[in-house]
Every structure is written in C-alpha cells, then in structure tokens.
Chain A
Amino acid sequence: MNNAIPITQLDYRTVLTDAEISEIEHECEQYEIRPAAAIDALQIVQSHRGWIDDESLNAIADCLQMSSAELEGVATFYNHIYRQPVGKHVIHLCDSISCWLHDFQIIADHLSDKLGIQFGQTTEDGNITLLPNVCLGCCDKAPAMMLDGELVENLNIASVDEILDKLRGGSNG
C-alpha cells in the first residue's frame, strides 16, 4: 500500500522564478520541441542559483515536459552543470596540454595550498570552489583559468595571489 497517490502535484511555477521561466520560455522558442531546451534551461537556472538542486531539477523537468530521470541524465553528462553546491566564486583552472607545458601544476598546487582545499572542493566558508577544466582555448596565453566565467590568462604565482586576495576581500567586505 505504499504508493498512495502523491497528494500534491509538482508545479514548476511554484519553484522557478518568473525571470527564470521567461528566460527558459525564450529558449524553448528556438527549438521544435520543449525538451530540447534542457541544457539551456539548466544553465539559466544555474546562473541564478549557482547550482542545480533536486527541487530545481524536478521543476525544470516539469517545465520542459520531460521526466526528471531523463533530465538528470542530461545534467550529469555535461561538465558545467553542477549538481552539488559550489562556492560564491568558482575557479576553473585549465589542465590541458598547453597549460601543462607551461607548468600549470605549480599554479594548481599553489591554489590548493593557499585555499586549503583539493580540486573539486569548496572552501569551508563557501567562498571559493576549485575545479579543473579542459582546454580553455587560451593556449597562446597559458596557463589560464576561468574565474566566474571570465578568462584570466598568463597566470603566475603573483597574479594568482592577487586574484585570491581580491576574492577574499570581496567576501569579507
């Protein structure tokens, strides 16, 4: 008797904001079918909320008239959809070949040390998440990182320190 009918039906309008919905609807217009906007919709909601929690995932699925299992399959396929909370700032350090040739590992170790976290983790204060990224297309200006969506090129220890100071200052003030 354990499948009593769910009492309340999920309605995405109660979860997603009007802004999110209108952006998603805008994307839907571009495709023959609604589920085609899945990746766009995930990115939209993520841009508002930082990451995709289960509730948002279910709401997006409802909005796009697809099953949440299927949307989960999509969300977990792509590198830049976060299904776990991330910090206020996200650092994506390029770890591909040109950056490797420019010894990105030194930068990586330095970042890890200074933040006290491994790649894939978030600082305890929830400020910074450190992630690796495949080639950022800045091979001529290696090593490079993407900080909150902005490219930062020709990294060295000094410039990394400067960035971290700024991020920390930002979170304090």
Chain B
Amino acid sequence: MLTIYIDDHAYQVAPGQNLLQACLGLKKDLPYFCWHPAMGSVGACRQCAMTQYQDENDTRGRMIVACMTPVAEGMRVSMDQPAETEFRDQVISALMTHHPHDCPVCAEGGECHLQDMTVMTGHHARNYKGKKTTFQNQHLGPLIKHEMNRCITCYRCVRFYQDYAGGSDLSAQASKNHVYFGRQCDGTLESEFAGNLVEVCPTGVFTDKPFGDHYSRKWDLQTAPSVCQHCSVGCNISLSERYGSVRRVTNRVNDHLNGYFLCDRGRYGFGFVNSSMRCTEIHKEGAKADWLDDQVQHTLKSVHHWVGIGSTQMSLEDNFALQQLVGAENFCIGLDEKQETLLRMHMDILAQWQMASLAEMEQADAIVILGEDVNNSAPRAALAIKQALLNNAKAQAEKLRVPAWQDAAVRQIKPHYPVPLAVFGYGSNALTKQASMHQICDDKSAAEQGFLLANLLSSLSPKPKVSKISDNVQQLAEILKSAKRPLIVTGWSANNPALLAAAANIRKSLDNSDAMLAIFPAEANIIGLGVLMQRGHLPVSELPEILSKGKRNVLILDHDSQRFQQQLGTIRGKAHHMVRLNQFDSVPEDEIELPVACFSEVSGSMVNYQGRLQSYYPASKTPGQSLAAWQWLVNIARLRNHPLGEVDNLGDLRVRIAQCIPPLPKDWLEQSEQGAVPFAMQPPRFSGRTAMLANQTVHEPKPFGEENAPYKQSMEGQLSGQSDNQPIAFSWSPGWNSNQSNHKFRDEYRTQELSSQSAQLLIEPGSQKCWFKWQPEWSKKIDPTYKILAMNKVFGSDSLSLHAIPIQQLVAPASLSVNAKLAAKLGLEAGQWVQCDDDSIPLQVVIENTVPDTTMLVYSAANQPFLLTGCDQVTPLADDKVEQYLALLEQQKAVVQEKQDAQKQRLLKRDERIPIRFIEGVS
C-alpha cells in the first residue's frame, strides 16, 4: 500500500492504479466521464481534474487529470481547492453548451451520469448565449435508440464498441464540436454487445429501446438481483419491474463473471416472461381446470409408477424436488443421450479441474479454442477472451513504465506484442478473426489435434489413432510451454465428448498450476442437473423401455426446446398420465398442465459452467395460478403423503438439498434466514407507491414478498451492494443515481488480480487427475457424403430468448454455409435457397471459407430444428417455393411487428389496472 495526501489528509491506497480510481475507492466524489474501470483511461473529457503539488511547500501546484496520473508514494494532491473545482465546473458548462436539456423526456433521466456530475460540480446556471447545434439521429435497430444531441463526446461508446468489443460498424465521425458517433448509414448495430452502449454512455445518446417503449423512471422500478438464463456463463443481472411486468435487464457487477458487460441475448432475451404465450392457468386436456377438480386430483394421486423428466430451464430446487418426488431411479434429466454423455464427462472434468472464471480468462497469455464457437454459445466469455489478447501489450507497456490502464498506449503497442490465440474449428466470428492461428477443421479433427497437442506436451497423454501432426500443433506446443497462463477452451456445441476429453488432456499435460480450462455447456443450468444426476438418475436410453412396461405416469418439468419436442413424441402415447409443469402454453393432448413461474417471479438457483451456484430473486409476482415448480411438486407430494410434502418454504427445501449435496455454501442456506433487516428492492425515491392502486381501492396495500426472503419488494430495508458478498438489487449511492455508482466503493477492480473464488463453487476439484483415452467410437466414419455441423447464433440458438420480441426481430433465416470449393462443386451461389436431401427446411446459402471441405454448416433458429447430421445432396428450391418461403418470412416479420404492438398495448392496459391480488393485504 502507498500513502498519498489528498487535501492534506493521508490515505492508504493500492499501488498500480490511477488517482481517479483511488479517489473513487476512497468513496470520494470526484466527477469523471471518459474513464471506465474496464476500459481504462484516455484523458479526453478532462472532468477529473485535480491539482498536484511537488511537496508541502508548493502552494500553487499544477493541474492534472486524475485518471491519467498513477498514484505514487507520498504524492500530494488536492481535489477541493478553487482552481480545480472551478475548472471542473467549467468543463461541465462547456459540455452542456449544446446539450438539449431535455431531461424530462429522456429515458436516461433519473439515472444519468451527466445529471449526477452536473449537480456534483455545482453547475446550475447556463452561461452560454449561442445557438445549439442539432444532429440527425440514426435508426440503429430494435435494441438501441440514438439521440445524438445529448452527446457530451466522452468517446466511451466507440471505445467500448470498437476497442473493447471488436465491433466495426460504429465510429467517431467528423471533428471539432461536430463529432458524431454513429454508423456509416442507418441500420441495426452488428455487435452482439451493442446493448452495453446503454450503460456505457454516461447520458442519453444510446438508450434501451424496448425499455423506452414501455418506460418507467429508475426510481419507480422494483429491482431484483438475478442471473441470466440464456447460456451457461450465468452472468449476473438486475431485473427491473413496474406494474407487474418486467421492464428491463441491466448488468449487475460480478467481478468474477460478467464484470460490467452483458451480451445482447442476456440483456434483451428476458422478454419471454412478459410473453402472451405464458401459461398462467391449470389446464386439463387443453381446457381450463382447477387444482381441486376431482379429475385433476385423481390423476395427480395416481398410485402407478411415476417417471420425472427434469429441465435445464428450471432451477436446481425445482429439479431436486422432482427427483425427490419420483425417486432418483425414475428421474430422467431431460437431455438426449449424447448430451448425457457430455454431461457425465463434464462432471468428471469438474471433479478434477476448476474451470476458469471470466476474470481469470482475461488474464490468459496463450489461448487454444477447440471446436467451439464461443462467441455464439457463451458470448460474454468470448468478450473476456478478447480482452486477454491485450496482455502481452500490457506487459510490454509496464516495461516502458506505461501503466496497463493507459488504454490507447496499450492498443498502440498491441500489434507487435500479440497474445497467441489458436482456433481449431469451423465458422468465423469476432474471435476467429483475431486468431493468430486458425486451423479450419471439423469437431472430430479438432479433438484429434487436441489429443496430439496434449501428447506433444506430455508423452504420458494418450495418443489418438491419427497420423499427422500439423505444424500448427507443433508450434502451439512450444507456445503453451512457455506461456505463463495458458487457457484451453471448448464446449458442447459440436455435441462431441472427444473435444472435452482433449481439452482436459491438454490441461493435464501442462505442468503449470496457472494453466486454465473452460468448457461451456449448451444451456444455463445443465451443471445443476449434473449435480443431481450424480445422485442417481434414469438414463434417457432406458426411458422407452420403462414406459413400455405400461401404466407409467410422466411428470415433465418445463421444456421449451424444439429438440425436446421430438423426444416428447416418443413419450407421449406410451405414458399413462402426463403432467407437465409449463412456463408456456403447450399442446392440448397433454393431460394436465400446471402453470409455472418464470425466473423473474420466484427465487431459485442455477449452477453455471464452473459449478458456481448462483441465486436469483423475484422482481414481480407470479401471474394467474402459477407457482414455482417446486411448490407444485410439494403440493403433489402432499396429495400423496410423500415426505416432500413436509417442505414449507424455499429455505426448507434448501436444507434438504444441503443434506444430499454437500458442500453447499453457507450463505446460500442462510439467505433465507437473513431476514432480520431485508434489502430494499425499491429505491428511496420510489414515487406514488401509495397511489398505485388508488383507482381501485383506498386501502394502502402491503407489498407482496416471499417468506423470509432477504429482499423485500418495498423501499423499506437496507441498501444492498455495499458489502462484499451481498448481491446488489439496484446501484445507487448518495449523489450517484446512475450505474456509475458501482465504480465507487470498489476495493478491487477486475483488471487487478482477483482473490480466490473456490468458496463459491459447488464442486471442489480433487487432487486425482486422470487422462482421457481416445474412444474407438469417436473415430467412426459417418455415412452421408457431407457432414453437417450445427452453427450457433447469439440470436436464435437459445429457445427461451426466442420468445422475446426484440430477439425475434433479429433472428436470421436458416442458412447453409459451405466453402467456395464445395460451392463451386455443387454449383451453389451465395444467397440461393436450397434444401438438404429431401425434406429439410429452406436454407439460404452462404459462402464461408472457414468451413472445412466436405462439410456444411447449418444454422437454424432453436424453434426451427434441423436434425440432419449429414446429407448426400443439396437441391435448389424451386422458384415458386422460394417465393412462397420469402412471403412466409415477410409474413412472420409482420406477425412479430403485430405481436410487438399487441404486447405493448396489453402491458400498458395492465399498468392502468393492476390486478388487485397483485398486492397482498388487499382482498
């Protein structure tokens, strides 16, 4: 620690940071704009000015900008003297000369960093007498609204978009006081991280469009800490509600995972909770029914054998309750055979190696990606990997005595000090474009190369039955040996366990305790199911046989994916009774449908790719008759006098889980008992709470809440987020209404070495490590002439987010990518519509040279499954069929538009008259 003097007071601060960071850490109100903890300093806005003095006797000092000044032992600075306070006031005055002062109609109002800074500097009267400039705004697509007149030219947007996230279609244009931030022309922003602009922009230039369409001020939002449901990373989010509908998702800082940024699937995919497809009532054979109906009760009480099918889309608690109710031997985890194999292997690897967190991945200095399109399957992780590519430049900068947070300098150095990134796989994305080594191959040869690489690194590592070692692999072995923090990444996208085995072998072959491994499963809570699976389960391969024994009842936890619909087909018909616990209305043949709450309405826990247990809390109340799935299961248990029926509340259930799955983190169990002083989910300024129902009742209602929950749906309680392990509901501190308040109170920033995190992980890696052998079945040749590989997209490959309207607007039609060679051979042209073999869906041809020979890459949205894994021929679609299909696409577009309007109307209507039962204490 260093001692520095600010306004003649001595403070202890950590070395290596800049003065602005240090001041914020000391909880001082030093205004700033262009600095960002994840993006470093560039010194453009000059807002963070302070005065530095040579020694005690220096009374004049010289002005510095804090964000560009490293802290140094004994340094003397001031922040409250007239020189700097006047200058900081002038900066704001100058920034505001052309600002439209349109706060009342601005979606940023009430959580605007510019508002906060204006107040903080004391600027309150306008001195500039000239005219204001007016800019033209651009249409940037369904996610983001553009209002350039509010710009204060801090350059954060382009620095995030281009430099941090690698986007290329947003730039700084023009110059002097006409600088403009936009695209070359109108059009949807291409980066899958564009949504972060909303939070990165300190004023209202980039705002959340869907939120703006159904808007509420931040101070009127009820906000709950939550966890993203759309991939296995498990980014931490804040969910905000008003009048019973969820309005938006914002980033919730988690230093280990998402840091300050989310991907757009996570930010905009939550809309499924507001969807009109939601199942909110009990149905029997498609007709509305009641819990007390005889037939319903009769079915649920059935004494015949029950089989349960779990779901990755439901919480650990829900799946646990199901496993309890039907018994482990009757609990099928709801994955297909291949995925079960993958899960087994994943759990095996987790028991040996701890997976790197995103923050750790950012520290890598050599990266190997084996057969996984991380950018599309775990987007936020790809963003973390991209940051690692700066590490060698940072090290070189430090050698030149330039601190790593000098962002522009580090980026100038970067081209000459690259971090090796080797990609074995297919398809191109933002990450592969940055690869220093890109071997185009299918998943099988990626796995083979991985095995070879491991074998080169350690002769003990089992060899696959392949002959040739590519030069790339030779070279890579040397790189990995000399790297300090090598990182191996793979995932489930290719459905190939060989990849996982290869990655684990490479990890083991590296004699380096700082080497890292990260494997990304296909969906959010898969590892949660893996944990339950280890307590016993019914393999999906045995399901048909069990069902064929007759009089078997099936209980199915919500399953929305189309892939599962296929399986369902085989189950249906064989089952005696079928009971489904659904978030979305499903097909009527199912005997009984019980409406299940979404993650935004109840508490629950998920387990991410690392085995990290994370909980979410309800932001709004469950609609209609719906309950948390575990509550239905408890109710069913009561009907049957099953011991699960003794569970009273979530805390009870968690205690039971803890008895079965040690070791569970203590605070997870205690969360439900923390109730002494709960945390408020509404900010102190929440307005009109008492008037919300005034048109319906004169009683002042009591806000609803979960029993014993640590978060309360009211503004009474304490402010969360200011102690280390407390998830924040909403970010706020006095004077800081925007999310920039997150940047205060931070002792450690992501850029610095983070403390160990194993305490939060559910699975402790053991000291025994083993090699994975190459399995003969991995070498099996496939029959069809062309192998078909599945391609993921941020928008489209996740079924839950497909129910969100903005995502629907962004989903691309199905496509078939081939390389130029194969295209020429098959006579395919880019843009052409084709079908594989006979009956596949129409696919649009893309010529993409990162597809291996004799291979085709097919993308289709999750609600339009494409199940072929190989094909012999590709036939052009007849002209009339193309026309029909294009017309259909047009029509779908119109339907989405209609749905958007209808949903908005529906929700607006609801705002006017909230169902009274929404609030407890009113009958």
Contact between A9 and B830 (Cβ–Cβ < 8 Å)? yes
A54: which B residues are within 8 A, CB to CB?
184-185
Chain A residues contacting B889 (CB-CB under 8 Å) are 1, 4
- Given contact pairs A2-B809, A3-B810, A72-B184, A67 touches B892 in the complex (Cβ within 8 A): no
Chain A's closest residue to B892 (CB) is A1
Asked whether, in the complex, the Cβ of A5 is within 8 Å of the Cβ of B815, the reply is yes
The answer to whether the Cβ of A37 comes within 8 Å of any Cβ in the partner chain is no
The interface-forming segment of B70-78, B167-175, B866-874 is B167-175
Instruction: State which size class the interface on A falls in.
Output: 20 to 34
Chain A 109-127 per-residue mask, 1 if CB under 8 angstroms from chain B, else 0: 0000000000000000000
Q: Is A170 part of the binding interface, using a Cβ–Cβ cutoff of 8 Å?
A: no
Interface residues of A in 52-95 (CB under 8 A from B): 54, 57-58, 66-73, 76-77
The proximity string for B residues 150-191 relative to A, scoring 1 for CB distances below 8 Å and 0 otherwise, is 000000000000100000111111110000100111001000
- Nearest-CB residue, chain A, relative to B847: A9
Contact, CB under 8 Å: A67 / B811? no
Chain B residues whose C-beta falls within 8 Å of the C-beta of A9 in the assembled complex: 830
A7 contacts partner chain B, Cβ-Cβ < 8 Å: yes
Does B280 reach chain A (CB closer than 8 Å)? no
Q: How far is the CA of A6 from the CA of B844 in the complex (A)?
A: 10
Interface residues of B in 390-426 (CB under 8 A from A): 415
Which of the listed residues A2, A7, A77 has the most CB atoms from chain B within 10 Å of its own CB?
A2
Q: Complex formed: what's the CA distance from A58 to B185 in Å?
A: 11
B830–A73 CB distance below 8 A = no
- Considering only residues 13-49 of chain A, those with a C-beta below 8 Å from chain B are 33
Chain B residues with CB under 8 Å of A1's CB are: 809, 811-813, 889-890, 892-893, 896
The answer for the CA separation of A8 and B896 in the assembled complex, in Å, is: 27
Which listed residue (B168, B175, B811, B846) contacts A76, Cβ 8 A? B175
Residues of B within 8 A of A4 (CB): 812-813, 844, 889
B665 interface residue per 8 A CB criterion: no
Q: How far apart are B339's CB and chain A's nearest CB, in angstroms?
A: 29
B residues in contact with A69, CB < 8 Å: 168-171, 183-184
Q: Report B353-368 CB contacts with A as 1/0, cut-off 8 Å.
A: 0000000000000000
Asked if B122 CB lies within 8 Å of chain A CBs, one says: no
Query: Interface residues of B toward A: which range?
Result: 20 to 34
Q: Do A8 and B830 touch (CB < 8 A)?
A: yes
**Chain A: minimal CB distance from B157 (Å):** 12
In whole angstroms, how far apart are the Cα atoms of A105 and B529 in the complex?
Answer: 80
Contact B175 A5 (CB under 8 A): no
Q: A69-B183, A72-B171, A76-B175 are in contact. Are A3 and B188 (CB under 8 A)?
A: yes
Tell me if B168 and A72 are in contact (CB < 8 A): no
Contact of B544 with A by CB under 8 A:
no
Residues of chain A contacted by B810 (CB below 8 angstroms): 2-3
Given A57-B184, A69-B183, A69-B184, do A5 and B171 touch, yes or no (CB 8 Å)?
Answer: no
Return the contact of A5 from the options B162, B172, B844 (Cβ within 8 A).
B844
Known A3-B812, A4-B889; contact A73-B171, beta-carbon cutoff 8 A: yes
Contact across chains for A73 and B172 when beta carbons are under 8 A apart: yes
Chain A residue nearest to B886 in the complex (CB): A4
Report the separation of the CA atoms of residues A58 and B187 in the bound assembly, to the nearest whole angstrom: 15
- B181, closest chain A residue (CB): A73
A44 to chain B, nearest CB (A): 20
- Answer yes or no: B831 CB below 8 A from chain A CBs: yes
How far does the alpha carbon of A54 sit from the alpha carbon of B184 in the complex, in Å? 9
Q: Quick check: A5 and B846 within 8 Å, CB to CB?
A: yes
Q: Which residues of B contact A58 (CB under 8 A)?
A: 184
Q: Complex Cα distance A155/B892, Å?
A: 66
Q: How far is the CB of A170 from chain B (nearest CB, A)?
A: 33
Query: Which of A67, A70, A77 has a CB less than 8 Å from the CB of B174?
Result: A77
Give chain B residues whose Cβ lies under 8 Å from the Cβ of A7.
Answer: 830-831
B831 and A5 within 8 A (CB) = yes
Whole-angstrom distance between the alpha carbons of A1 and B810 in the complex?
6
Closest to B891 in A: A1
Q: Do residues A73 and B812 form an inter-chain contact, with CB atoms below 8 A?
A: no
Contacts of B184 in A (CB 8 A): 54, 57-58, 67-69, 71-72
Q: A15–B299 Cα gap in the complex (Å)?
A: 71
Q: Is the CB of A70 within 8 A of B171?
A: yes
Known: A7-B830, A9-B830. A67 touches B893 (CB 8 A): no
Output the least CB separation between A50 and chain B (Å).
20
Contact check, A70 vs B893: say whether CB atoms are below 8 A apart: no
13 pairs from A and B in contact (CB 8 Å cutoff): A1-B811, A5-B812, A7-B830, A8-B831, A54-B185, A58-B184, A67-B168, A69-B171, A70-B171, A71-B184, A72-B171, A73-B173, A76-B174
Chain A residues packing against B (C-beta within 8 Å): 1-9, 33, 54, 57-58, 66-73, 76-77
Closest 3 CB pairs of A and B: A7-B831, A67-B168, A73-B171
Residues of B within 8 A of A (CB): 162, 168-175, 180, 183-185, 188, 415, 809-813, 815, 830-831, 844, 846, 889-890, 892-893, 896
Q: A1-B811, A1-B889, A6-B831 given; name 17 further pairs at CB < 8 Å.
A: A1-B890, A1-B896, A2-B893, A3-B810, A4-B812, A5-B831, A7-B831, A58-B184, A67-B168, A68-B169, A69-B168, A69-B169, A70-B162, A71-B184, A73-B172, A76-B174, A77-B175
